């Protein structure tokens, strides 16, 4: 998914970095929540 986002952003590296950072943050939050629930 990250590769697709980067490719879709084209040459705008700032936009792709922001997308990668946002999805990394979302993944971290999801794993923290799942860890708390105990899955």
The single-letter DSSP state of residue 38 is T
Global confidence as pTM: 0.46
The whole-angstrom separation of Cα 10 and Cα 39 is 37
Count CA atoms within 13 Å of residue 38 on its CB side: 0
Tell me, what's the pLDDT at 7? 55
Q: What is the pLDDT of residue 14?
A: 72
CA-CA distances (angstroms) from residue 26 to 8, 22, 23? 19, 6, 5
Write the DSSP assignment of 1-39 as a string of letters: -HHHHHHHHTT-HHHHHHHHHHHHHHHHHHHHHHHHHT-
- What pLDDT tens digit does each residue of the chain (39 aa) get? 455 555 554 555 777 888 889 999 999 999 998 898 886
pLDDT score at 11: 55
């Amino acid at each position: 998914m990250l590769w697709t986002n980067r490719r879709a952003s084209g040459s705008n590296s700032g936009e792709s970095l922001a997308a990668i950072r946002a999805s990394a943050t979302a993944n971290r939050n999801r794993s923290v929540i799942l860890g708390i629930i105990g899955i």
